[in-house]
Amino acid sequence: MSRQKLKRLGLDLPLLPTSTVGSFPKTPELAAARTKYARKQITKRELEALEKKATEFWIRTQEEIGLDVLVDGEQYRGDMVAHFAEIMAGFQTGGLVRSYGNRYYHKPVIVGEVKWPGPMTVSWWQWTQALTDKPVKGMLTGPYTVMDWSFNDYYPDRKSACLALAREIRKEVEALIEAGAKIIQIDEPAISVRQEEFPFAIEAMHLTVDGLPAYFITHACYGAFETIYPDMLDLPVDNLDLAISNSALDLLKIFEKDPFTKDLSLGVLDVHSHRIEAPAEIGARIMRGVRVLPPDRIWVDPDCGLKTRTVEESRGKLEAMLVAVRRIREDLALTP
């Protein structure tokens, strides 16, 4: 099982390792600075200094809360696809399209051969990892999602665009590993949108990670489970991160029919609600997983990135999550 893989990688994590999905809210100081930067009132260097300050704030906060596997909080990122599209060759910033209501965004356009431009996330990862003794996850967006959330003017079809992206994103995975990253999360929130394309989404993940020595996690989005289980077990990663906080999904019933073969990250906090869940409520969500899988294969985290919550809400929610996890760890230690 993957516990052995973690050990081989030199990672000794407690039972029910706790982590987060990736993003934390921008600190108020950084949010103000980003607006100023957009208006060209401060320099790139001034902005970067504040991004680092905010990243350090989140590392300390995660340590204080007691999380086991940390993230850099994505203080320097806007959108999870546009961030990479802006750096990689082959993309152009597209025109505005509406997402809902009065919200618009610049959807990237693939206009030429996509190319890895050299390390994109490595220096941030190194800088962040140097701040802490806890492992920090490398964070990437997967090839299928980058393809699905971009227009494609260049490749003949969606599949060839996706596979081309996979070959380039693999180079970033290699660079992260070379720099020392042991846990790498490759997010694929779009992976369940077109079931008929799932085979090449899996092929793309093979191209991205096969043979590379790291513990891989993939975060999918709410609804993915119902749509593509058990096919999603074919994703060549160690850990699937699934939102269960808002779903009445009967894991037991699903796993009885098709046994879950990977480690499971249980997304137990509802990141779209302001409410701080009670530890008992969170504990009950964790137990839904613990009842159906050996506890040494379960991780615990929120159901998505926390960037839409406030700093205080994020902290409150995660503290409650840790209270719940510690109680269950104690209970599990007592029961032989």
Partner 1 sequence: MELILTTAGSYPRIGDAPELQRHRQAYAQRERGEIGEEAFRKVEDEATAEAIREQIEAGIDLVTDGQIRWYDPYSHLARGLEGIEINGLLRLFDTNCYFRQPVVKGRVRRKGPILLREYEFARSVSSRPVKPVLTGPYTLARGSILGGGYGSVRALASAYTEVLAEEVSGLSRAGAPLIQLDEPAILHHPEDLNLLEEALVVLARARGTARLALHTSFGDVAPLYRDLQALPVDVLGLDFTYSPKLPALIADAGSQKVLALGVIDARNTKLETAERVFPILDTVLPALKASQAYLTPSCGLEFLPRDRARQKLETLKRLRDEYLGGRS
Helices (H), the chain: 2-8, 28-38, 44-65, 82-87, 122-129, 143-148, 158-179, 198-209, 224-228, 251-257, 279-290, 311-334
Residue 30 sits in the site that holds partner 1 (CB under 8 A): no
CB of 83 to partner 1, least distance (A): 16
In the region spanning residues 96 to 115, those forming contacts with partner 1, defined by CB under 8 A, are 96-102, 104, 107, 109
Nearer to partner 1, 68 or 303 (CB): 303
Helix/strand/coil for 23: strand
CB of 227 to partner 1, least distance (A): 10
Nearer to partner 1, 68 or 187 (CB): 187
Nearer to partner 1, 101 or 336 (CB): 101
The neighbour count for residue 328, using CB atoms within 10 Å, is 21
CB of 313 to partner 1, least distance (A): 17
Residue by residue, DSSP assigns 41-108 as SS-HHHHHHHHHHHHHHHHHHHHHHT-SSB--BTTT-SSTTHHHHHHSEEEE---EEEEETTEEEE--
Outline where DSSP puts E strands in 244-308. Answer: 263-269, 298-302
CB of 105 to partner 1, least distance (A): 8
Q: Are 238 and 219 in contact (CB under 8 A)?
A: no
Q: In what order do the strands lie in the sheet with 109-115?
A: 89-92, 109-115, 151-152
Nearer to partner 1, 100 or 248 (CB): 100
Residue 244 sits in the site that holds partner 1 (CB under 8 A): no
CB of 196 to partner 1, least distance (A): 7
In the region spanning residues 118 to 157, those forming contacts with partner 1, defined by CB under 8 A, are 148-149, 151-154
Nearer to partner 1, 112 or 118 (CB): 112
The neighbour count for residue 23, using CB atoms within 10 Å, is 23
Residue 95 sits in the site that holds partner 1 (CB under 8 A): yes
Residue 39 sits in the site that holds partner 1 (CB under 8 A): no
Q: What are the structure tokens assigned to 181, written together? A: 């990253």
Residue 194 sits in the site that holds partner 1 (CB under 8 A): yes
CA 214 – CA 197 distance, rounded (Å): 26
Nearer to partner 1, 93 or 310 (CB): 93
**Binding residues for partner 1, per CB under 8 A?**
94-102, 104, 107, 109, 148-149, 151-154, 193-194, 196, 223, 272
